[in-house]
Amino acid sequence: MRWIADDPDPATRDELTKVLAAAMGRVPGAVEDLQERMAGVLRFGTAGLRGPVRAGPAGMNVAVVRRATAGLAAWLARGGARGLVVVGRDARHGSEAFAAAAAEVLAGAGFRVEVLPGPLPTPLLAFAVQSLGAVAGVQITASHNPPADNGYKVYLADGAQLAPPSDAEIEAAITAAPPAINVPTSAGSGTVDVTEPYLERVAALPRGHVKALRVALTPMHGVGGATAVQALARAGFTDVHVVRSQAAPDPDFPTVAFPNPEEPGATDELLALAADVGADLAVALDPDADRCALAVPHDGGWRMLSGDETGVLLGDHLLRSGGYTDPLVATTVVSSSMLRAVAAGYGARFAETLTGFKWIVRGGPGLVFGYEEALGYCVDPDAVRDKDGIAAAVLACDLAAGLKAAGRGLQERLDELFVAHGVHRTEGVSLRMEPAARDAAVARLLATPPEGWSAERPAPDVLVLRRAGERLVVRPSGTEPKLKAYLEVVEPVAEAGSLDAAKAAAQGRLDALRAETKALLGT
């Protein structure tokens, strides 16, 4: 009853009142529903908040957003930051109301607040923070989560996502915040549109002058479609075909079971369109357009590139184009090690970081490119210090157009890199395990590494096992009762003529490593 009384939103007050009445009336499932909603507040981690849109402290709603923003404002004020904060949003359920709530609390706390006009891609918010000299940015988005979810992502003055200990400090400030109904608010926010300068910046990314490329594109019911088409057109790529059924933002994501390009079946409509129009490249953005997946023609059909394959291709393209002084490229400990080899070939520096762009973009001075295997690519860190699916798509089209003019494709370029640096095969495996069992499995491997493997622990929740030409990274999921394993094998290519044999050998070793991994983890 206390939470209901302190909720400033009549809609969620009424929702929770009905859930409480149903629970008291012993309606089947109502007690469990109430327990879930009241189990505790959403945790504020390095990705901010994320959870189902529903009433109660364990959901995304106006009351939770008000208290989270009050905590953020108090934390910023303690650090002496009282300048501009930019607020953006996607088109998910609740996003407009949550963005308005965040802006009102920030204005009420004495900050100058500018709100992006309408639902826009997350990279525009990250761009706005840097380009406008803001002290922070808030984006309301759940990225590629299921339709029922929403989230709250924070960027700091350097344009990057939160990194420890800031997340814990902000969470403590949220805990100390007053009830939502008592948080001061003000309607004194303005509107700012950074679309034009963002498009100008992205349009300048291509290294080549060839623009003859047919592209199939889907924004997957998200907010990236219009901006992506404009960005590609500005860069000279005008032969773009968009999946019609997925072109407009739709918070229900009706044509996909799960709005994530990595999920099986999510790109079926894109690949059908690519085949129908005879595209040279297919591009899938996730719903907030910070991730990008590519597909290429292959053996008479289409093949989705892995995040590692795309990351290596884009990193190689940027380094090969030149123009940098002592450049640095970075990826994570769970991504392919091939980028390290590519960087060495160009005399560039390389950094291996912990998982997440909060670490990648802080990999060191001179960063020109960073990626993670989960389809995230930072191709212009000076403008967007985070993953940017739209900028990555423009750069991928630049690479594909240049290769097409030379009678080749992305697969052929990838094969050339395999010949030069070895065939790198990677795979992710998720094993459902309760927290106690997964923690015990990691502790056992760390205490007694399997024979022939060396073990290291770059972070408390990350275990890395290595042996000649193979690597296994194990870490618990931060959101689910799962243990995640990331496998990599590297098979040298003695000469170009043995590439097919090397690919087959690499796949065989990967299959064996997968079986060994499951045995090691006791599943």
Query: Of 363, 394, 418, at which residue does a domain stop?
Result: 418
Residues 377 and 492 in one domain: no
> What number is the average pLDDT over the span 136-148?
96
Structural domain span for residue 411: 197-418
User: For the ranges 67-76, 259-268, 434-443, which has the lowest average pLDDT?
Assistant: 434-443
Could you give the C-alpha distances from 508 to 5, 86, 431, 503, 511, in angstroms and in order? 61, 50, 21, 9, 5
Residues 324 and 370 in one domain: yes
Helix (H, G, I), strand (E, B) or coil at 260: coil
Residues 396 and 430 in one domain: no
- CATH of residue 463: 3.30.310.50
| Phi (first) and psi of residue 185, to 5 degrees | -135, 160
Query: Of 369, 393, 418, at which residue does a domain stop?
Result: 418
Please say if the pLDDT value at position 487 is more than 90.
Answer: yes
| Phi (first) and psi of residue 240, to 5 degrees | -120, 130
Residues 170 and 130 in one domain: yes
pLDDT digits (tens, 9 = 90+) for 30-72: 999 999 999 988 988 777 899 999 999 999 999 999 999 999 9
Catalytic residue ranges: 143
d(CA 243, CA 259): 14
Residue 191, pLDDT score: 97
What is the rounded average pLDDT for all residues in the chain?
94
Residue 376, pLDDT score: 97
pLDDT digits (tens, 9 = 90+) for 242-259: 999 999 999 999 999 999
Q: How many domains does the chain have?
A: 3
Could you give the C-alpha distances from 494 to 143, 156, 371, 499, 521, in angstroms and in order? 42, 47, 28, 8, 34
84-89: strand order across its sheet: 49-52, 149-156, 136-140, 84-89, 112-115, 190-191
- The residue that leads in pLDDT, 438 or 376, is 376
User: Which helix H or strand E contains 296, and what residues bound it?
Assistant: strand 292-298
- CATH of residue 344: 3.40.120.10
Residues 337 and 461 in one domain: no
Residues 127 and 26 in one domain: yes
Residue 357 binned pLDDT confidence (cut-offs 50, 70, 90): very high
Instruction: From 143, 136, 193, 142, select the one nearest 160 (Cα to Cα).
Output: 136
Residues 250 and 204 in one domain: yes
Residues 185 and 240 in one domain: no
Residues 80 and 137 in one domain: yes
Measure the CA dihedral 334/339/344/347, to 10°: -120
- The residue that leads in pLDDT, 289 or 446, is 289
Residues 239 and 321 in one domain: yes
Residues 450 and 500 in one domain: yes
Query: Of 175, 193, 211, at which residue does a domain stop?
Result: 193
pTM recorded for the entire structure = 0.95
Residue 413, pLDDT score: 98
Residues 251 and 344 in one domain: yes
